[in-house]
Structure 1
Amino acid sequence: MAEDKAVRVRILLECTSCVRKSVNKESRGISRYITQKNRHNTPSRLELRKFCPCCSKHTIHGEIQK
């Protein structure tokens, strides 16, 4: 019960430019990162600019549900 009210939570960041439906055989999949955020300071969804090895460039990675 106490774990549900934790201030720092783990989140998944996924590349927004990679489309799941168009993943071909040469592609290694979808770029995902695991990070933490403070629930009180950042109540909205987090978006960070990270490197995507599938796109081979820096793209926006948005928070997704676990």
Structure 2
Amino acid sequence: MSQDNLIKLACDECKSINYYTNKNKKKLKEKIELKKYCKNCKKHTNHKEQK
């Protein structure tokens, strides 16, 4: 697994980094935004890609 493909997903509300995932940067040029569970907010929120 290449480190270049590893990205962090951070919660929009509390800004905590909760998830790490892989991304194919050749196919997906835009930033990923997913709705996932945040353990700090204790609810489902949008998580955006961070550097």
The bucket for the TM-score relative to the shorter chain is 0.7 to 0.9
> RMSD across aligned C-alpha pairs, in angstroms?
1.7
Moved segments of 4+, more than 3 Å: none
The normalised TM-score by structure 2 is: 0.82
Match of 2:32 in 1: 46
Counting aligned pairs with the same residue, the percent is 37
Name stretches of at least 5 consecutive residues in structure 1 with no aligned partner.
20-29
Larger Rg: 1
Higher helix fraction (1 or 2):
1
The normalised TM-score by structure 1 is: 0.65
SS at match of 2:7: strand
